[in-house]
Structure formats: C-alpha cells, structure tokens
Amino acid sequence: MPSGTVRVGAHDDDMHDRARRIAWLDFPAIEKARVLVVGAGAIGNETLKNLALAGYRNITIVDMDHIVKSNLSRCVLFTEMDAGERRLKAEVAAERLRAMAPGVNAIAHTSKIQEMPDTFIRDHDIVLGCLDNLETRLHVNAHCYAAKVPYIDAATDGFVGKVLAVSPPGACLECGTNRTHSKIVQMRFSCTGADVSFHAPKMAAEITTTSVVSAVQVREALKFTSGKREAVMSNMFYYDGLRNVSDVLEVPLNPACPNHPPS
C-alpha cells in the first residue's frame, strides 16, 4: 500500500478507536496504571469488565469467596459450571478478563484484604472497592488514605446505589459514617468468641443498579488515571433507580475522623 494511504475500515481494527476520540482519555496512562479491585461479586464483576474493556491492563483482584448460584443473575464473568464447582471468584474473574481483552494482566488473590502485606495497597495507583460489608470498606478506605492512593468506593442496596471518590486531603468514607455504622462495626469486632457469631443479613441486589453504580465507579477511575482530577466527583453520587433520580450528597471532612489527624 502506498505511503500515506489510509486503508478503508482501518479504524475498526483498533479495539479502543471510539474511546480514543475522547481527547482527554490518556490511554498510555490507562494501560500502565496498576489497579486494585477489592471484591469480585456483583459490583466487582461489572467493574472488572468495565476496567478491562476501558483499556486497563494491570488489574489485581482480591476476594476470598466461592461462586454460588445466587451470584449468577448479577455476575457476567461467572457461569453455572463455576457455581457447581464452587470455584473462587477472584481466580475465575482474572481468567475471564484475560480472555476478554488482549494484553490484560489480571492477578487473583484469594484471601482477605486484611491479610495482605502492609505495602500491598500502596503498590497500586488506584483502588476500587466493590464490597458488601462496612468493616472491610473502612479498612480499605483507611489504608488507601494513609498511603495517599485514590480510593473509589461503590455500594448498592436493592435499587439504591452510591459511589464515593476519596483522595487526600479531602473527606473519606469514614467521614460519612454515623452512629448506626459504628454499632455495626463494633458488633462485628465484639462477636468473635468460639461460640458467638454475628451474621449480617444478605443485602437486596439486582443487575440494573449494579450496572449503573459500577459504570460511575470506573468512569471516575478513568478521570483519576487520565489526570482530569478537576472533574472527579468531590462528594457522594447517590442513585435511586426506583424513583429514576440521581443526586450529589455532600460529605464534609470530619475533623474527628481518625484518618485526618491534626496537622
């Protein structure tokens, strides 16, 4: 083909051609970024899928749970065979990401995030929380804040969902907790005897709210990674699918929060 000639349809050979038309997306930075996703359940599945298709290549997944059949209505990366074999969520998710997008380096860790080395979180450029319990979310939030690693927390309850982007020196997830949240965490920590356990009820969940919340979470990650921090949400994104509304709720920095020691 002569020099300077453009082959008809060549733009369709690039998986990310349409996204590259968004001028501020920094694909070299996206491909280089080290992303940690904590939780590979419903939100985690959608978030991981979005990250891989958005161009992220270095994705670490932490989840200790096995796949069960009730996961399948909200988890695009899992199959009925995976549930029947009770395969580990993190391992299956990593395997499917590698098959989904060329060049993805997905690494699975099948332990609790609390059991990972102290340097584990700071070895990543951004952390996405896709968790279903407050105790672990607060743990990840605190370690990210201490390491100055941006943290994007996502959660759902039925048709309601929320996303909070945390970046020092701004407010963090713990700044927005209240007394009810504290009681839940204290109950988890206090009921650790051999004959006593605390069982949190399963949260209501469905795929459409999960999809919306995960999309917002990854969109904010793209802003962080591409250096467009002035566009990153500074408060909490709240979504109510039943009422078809979304809103931004202020999360002020709490001077009593242990993640914000006096300067």
Is pLDDT above 70 for 182? no
User: What is the per-residue pLDDT across 38-78, written as a single tens digit (0 to 9) for each?
Assistant: 999 999 999 999 999 999 999 999 999 999 999 999 999 99
Is pLDDT above 90 for 243? yes
What's the pLDDT score for residue 9? Answer: 63
Q: Report the C-alpha gap between 133 and 142 in whole angstroms.
A: 15
Mean pLDDT of 76-93: 98
Pick from 46, 259, 52: nearest CA to 143 = 259
User: What is the per-residue pLDDT across 7-24, written as a single tens digit (0 to 9) for each?
Assistant: 656 678 888 999 999 999
Q: Report the C-alpha gap between 157 and 131 in whole angstroms.
A: 12
The model carries a pTM of: 0.89
Q: Please, which pLDDT band fits residue 184 given cuts at 50, 70 and 90?
A: very low
Mean pLDDT of 217-243: 96
Q: What is the DSSP letter of 6?
A: P
Share of the chain above pLDDT 90, in %: 80
Q: Please, which pLDDT band fits residue 262 given cuts at 50, 70 and 90?
A: confident
- Strand (E) or helix (H) holding 136: helix 134-147
Q: Please, which pLDDT band fits residue 180 given cuts at 50, 70 and 90?
A: very low
User: What is the per-residue pLDDT across 94-132, written as a single tens digit (0 to 9) for each?
Assistant: 999 999 998 999 999 999 999 999 999 999 999 999 999
- Helix, strand and coil content of the chain, in percent to the nearest 5, comes to 40, 20, 40
What's the pLDDT score for residue 11? Answer: 72
* Annotated domain spans of the chain: 22-249
Q: What is the DSSP letter of 116?
A: S
52/179: higher pLDDT: 52
What's the pLDDT score for residue 3? Answer: 55
Instruction: Choose the weakest-confidence range: 137-146, 199-208, 214-223, 242-251.
Output: 199-208
DSSP assignment string, 184-231 = HHHHHHH--STT----PPPPPB-HHHHHHHHHHHHHHHHHHHTT-GGG
3/46: higher pLDDT: 46
Strands 34-38 and 58-62, bridge-based pairing: parallel
User: What is the per-residue pLDDT across 22-47, written as a single tens digit (0 to 9) for each?
Assistant: 999 999 999 999 999 999 999 999 99
Q: Please, which pLDDT band fits residue 191 given cuts at 50, 70 and 90?
A: very low
What's the pLDDT score for residue 121? Answer: 97
Say if domain 22-249 classifies as CATH 3.90.1720.10.
Answer: no
